[in-house]
């Protein structure tokens, strides 16, 4: 049991440190003490206005919004628990996506942001190529996972490894 606690603390600490590091690399010297407060501005991300409406006000001040967000999360988790037959299926899809995000897309995005103007044109072209390559390889990984899941062999393997 102690190993599980230590591992979860190590993972949470790693995520926390990475969030702070990427927040600093993204915003540079204008990093605020609360890294989430900087995300209420328009970053040029599609559908970011939807997230901007959720983040700026504390949830404790608005019971209706708190209830809607909580119910939405519970429904998404419940649907995932119902329709995902094995946790390994979820691990395959999220593992492929998170690996590509951490290894290619986050570093390339930081290089593209370049608030200090250090990067050259070659660096920006390389970053764009990295993002395109990452999206393409992730699409192939997700397609192969979905294909293996939907073929007869994948369905047999899932039914034998069901978590329930």
Query: In the block, which residue shows the tokens 């069901």?
Result: 162
The predicted structure's pLDDT at residue 132? 92
The whole-model pTM stands at 0.48
Distance of alpha carbon 29 from the chain centroid: 24
**Helical residues (DSSP H) of 28-151, grouped into ranges:** 48-54, 63-83, 87-100, 106-113, 121-150
User: What is the per-residue pLDDT across 19-61, written as a single tens digit (0 to 9) for each?
Assistant: 778 777 776 777 665 555 555 555 566 666 666 666 566 666 7
C-alpha 1/C-alpha 4 separation (Å) is 5
User: What is the per-residue pLDDT across 102-150, written as a single tens digit (0 to 9) for each?
Assistant: 888 888 888 888 777 888 888 889 889 999 998 998 888 888 888 877 7
């Amino acid at each position: 049991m102690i190993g599980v606690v230590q591992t979860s603390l190590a993972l949470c600490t790693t995520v926390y440190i990475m969030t702070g590091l990427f927040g600093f690399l993204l915003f540079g010297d204008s990093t605020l003490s609360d890294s989430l407060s900087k995300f209420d501005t328009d970053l040029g991300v599609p559908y970011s206005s939807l997230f901007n409406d959720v983040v700026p006000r504390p949830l404790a001040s608005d019971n209706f919004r708190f209830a809607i967000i909580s119910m939405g999360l519970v429904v998404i988790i419940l649907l995932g628990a119902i329709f995902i037959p094995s946790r390994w299926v979820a691990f395959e899809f999220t593992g492929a996506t998170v690996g590509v995000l951490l290894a290619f897309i986050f570093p390339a995005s930081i290089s593209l942001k370049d608030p200090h103007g250090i990067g050259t044109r070659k660096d920006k072209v390389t970053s764009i190529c990295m993002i395109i390559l990452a999206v393409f390889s992730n699409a192939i990984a997700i397609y192969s996972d979905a294909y293996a899941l939907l073929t007869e062999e994948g369905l047999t393997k899932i039914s034998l490894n069901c978590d329930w």
